[in-house]
Structure 1
Amino acid sequence: MPEPAALLDTAMQLHQRAIVVDAHHDIAIDVLHRRRLGERGSLSGVWGPQLRAGGVKVQILPTFVESIYLPERGLRCILTQIDAVGSDLEEDDRLVQLAATAAEIDSVIANGKIAAVLAVEGCDGLGGDPALLRILYRLGVRMVSLTWNRRNEFADGLGEGEAANGLSQAGRIAVREMGEWGVLCDVSHLAEAGFWDVAKFCRGPFVASHSNARAVCDHPRNLSDDQLRAIAESGGVIGLNFYGAFIDPHSPTLARLADHAAHIADTVGVAHVGVGTDFLEDWLLEAAKASVTEALVDPAMFDLWMPDCCRSEHLPRFSAALLARGFTEDDVEKVLGGNFMRTLRLPARAS
């Protein structure tokens, strides 16, 4: 086995040549927050250098609606985050550029920039109306999670516990239509009954953008082996989540995250393993600083991710952990982005 330094050097080289796709990083809400404070161009000016340092070539940007804005302002929150991202890149697209198709992603990468793809995490505020989802699709959204952990008119999130139901009629229509448009259905926060409805009604691949293996860490946000198989059978991908509690409740480490990757690969094949970091730490800390006296903010409050891998620039350390776990360089390239790019290249399907 090569020394750790040699593995990290190899990982750095992999990240330079691979198309690294992060399927879930909560940057959009941070961009909106910064713009409200008068800061402009943060996607290329603040986030772009971090993404580039980690070799990220495609960043999926989910919108997220905080509970305090529900129900009346849910749609407004989604739209203002989409607008913030678009406005930010209109003002400064030196490093990051929006993309809504595989051809656009390829073009952005060929021009040496990072492709940003819009997504929606939780359809709260849409009132169960698939027509509003069609509008979001026309605005460039290419991945949709019907729920966060809450209940809405489309489906129940896993936070509803044993009371959770499956998809509503509106949810079933939405899942079918997303398949027709070529929008990826994301099941990471969906209650289990809803998950199996998606497996039944989705036309084409569906994904879990940021979830781990329940067999390795028994957490409700992680997926059972049967769920892993259902995603794989659809042609979809499971994006590994870097949030500590979903890796190991006692000792979340890169080696343990590599255990999740190995379990998923052993269960359904490496072709269905990806990355969805779920990074949010920067926004949590900056928002807290803006809300209270900075001296009162304890950074330990936000120690929710692995300290050695909590930002995009740290991602080569994860790849080094995969190499140490026995993954080949070709397999690591698939995990880093090749597998998610396969799903992003799928065309809209005929109804």
Structure 2
Amino acid sequence: MTPSITAGQRFHADTLVADAHNDLLMLVARRPPQRWATYFRDVWYPQLRAGGVDLQVLPVFIDHEFRPEGALRESLRMVEAAHRIAEGNPDLVALCRTGAEIDATIGSGRIALVLALEGCPQIDTDVELLQTFARLGVRIVSFTHFGRTALADGSGEDSTGGRLTRAGVEALALLESLGVAIDVSHLGATGVDHVLELATQPVIATHSCSRSVHDHHRNLSDAHIRGIAATGGLICVNLYAGYLTTEAPTLDHVVAHIERVTELAGPTKVGIGADFVADLFAEKVPPCDRPLIIEGTNTELLIPGLEGPSGLPLVSEALLTAGHHENDVRRIAGANLARFLGATHH
């Protein structure tokens, strides 16, 4: 018997859905190049479609085994993988560089893919390479992950009080001149302050939660959330359980973070940056290291039903159940991110 579709699921299916963070390129690039397009079509496209995804940001994240020597080469492999996904599946997706391309792709019923850099280990102090990546289609850049790069300190280094380095300041100015968005997710708290001091263009947090709801260094303070919104920017709430709560995670915790960000930033400045990790950990973490414990937390705890993109309708349904207006839920589910990328990337 086919399970009945709820009103919330029907609503979600009729809504533009955008996700600001899915690390699927890491898994694509593990395959032989001749399989990149088919692997995406067979494994990831069905999940994205089941979740109603119309716009997917694809971060280029370089794992520790490639840093520092292989970072640039692996980055280029992942960028090439994204291009081959699009070229091999032109009826399903398109790699988009501009807002007009995003709109046209979604309008044609395909999924718009947008490239991002996460962490910048491949750049070091060669800031001019950011222009190279922009030429290749990168539209969003973050300077750090948990640790330190040549551009800034990550949130795991908050005790250093580090601002952007001289190269980081140069990188920010270059990216703004190119119309590439600055992403402050993973950036240390003082670094976020520095970005907000310097930014003349809208800033995005692609996958961050509220620190006042759950006090984790990866989450944004109330002041930072207000500051990002004041740039005309966007805060995309992370669905990763470790940043939501220390309790058994539920959809109520997701709603609590979305509500706090909405309260501070307004309903036009909130999105979703899912950061699904189940497939990634299942393939990349050896059995002897499972479950993966980081900073004393079991990083593999998942919200039931939110193991991957197909669970995204649950978020819309939970927001509607919590009493949020349909227009606001549509904004949060994807319209805000689509608008941000369209306005930022002409």
TM-score, normalization: structure 1? 0.91
Unaligned runs of 5+ in 2: 293-297
Residue 244 (1) aligns with residue 249 (2): no
User: Which of residues 311, 314, 334 is equivalent to 2:311?
Assistant: 314
Unaligned runs of 5+ in 1: none
Aligned position for 1:102: 99
8 A contact 1:24–1:278 mirrored in 2: yes
8 A contact 1:155–1:168 mirrored in 2: yes
Aligned position for 1:10: 7
Query: What are the equivalent positions in structure 2 for 1:30-41 lying under 5 Å apart?
Result: 30-35=27-32, 40-41=37-38
- What CA distance in whole angstroms lies between the structure 2 residues aligned with 1:212 and 1:146? 18
Aligned position for 2:82: 85
- What CA distance in whole angstroms lies between the structure 1 residues aligned with 2:41 and 2:339? 26
Residue 125 (1) aligns with residue 118 (2): no
Aligned position for 1:148: 145
Aligned position for 1:221: 218
User: Which of residues 170, 175, 180 is equivalent to 2:177?
Assistant: 180
Give the secondary-structure state (helix, strand or coil) at the position aligned to 2:6.
helix
State the identity as a percent: 37
Partner amino acid, structure 2, of 1:310: E
CA-CA distance at 1:17 after TM superposition: 2.5
Residues 348/28 of structure 1: CA separation in 2 closer, same or farther (3 Å cut): closer
- Deviating more after overlay: 70-79 vs 20-29: 70-79
Give the secondary-structure state (helix, strand or coil) at the position aligned to 2:220.
coil
Partner amino acid, structure 2, of 1:281: A
TM-score, normalization: structure 2? 0.92
What is the root-mean-square deviation of aligned Cα atoms in Å? 2.2
- Equivalences, count: 339
- What CA distance in whole angstroms lies between the structure 2 residues aligned with 1:159 and 1:93? 40
Give the secondary-structure state (helix, strand or coil) at the position aligned to 1:107.
helix
Partner amino acid, structure 2, of 1:10: A
Deviations 1:289-332 (A, max 9, x none): xx67xxx8968987332132121111111111111221111100
- What CA distance in whole angstroms lies between the structure 2 residues aligned with 1:232 and 1:41? 39
Give the secondary-structure state (helix, strand or coil) at the position aligned to 1:346.
helix
CA-CA distance at 1:242 after TM superposition: 0.9
Aligned position for 1:169: 166
8 A contact 2:86–2:93 mirrored in 1: yes
Q: Which runs of 4+ in 1 moved over 6 A?
A: 296-302
8 A contact 1:63–1:119 mirrored in 2: yes
Aligned position for 1:341: 338
- What CA distance in whole angstroms lies between the structure 2 residues aligned with 1:148 and 1:318? 26
Query: What are the equivalent positions in structure 2 for 1:22-61 lying under 5 Å apart?
Result: 22-35=19-32, 40-61=37-58
8 A contact 1:35–1:84 mirrored in 2: no
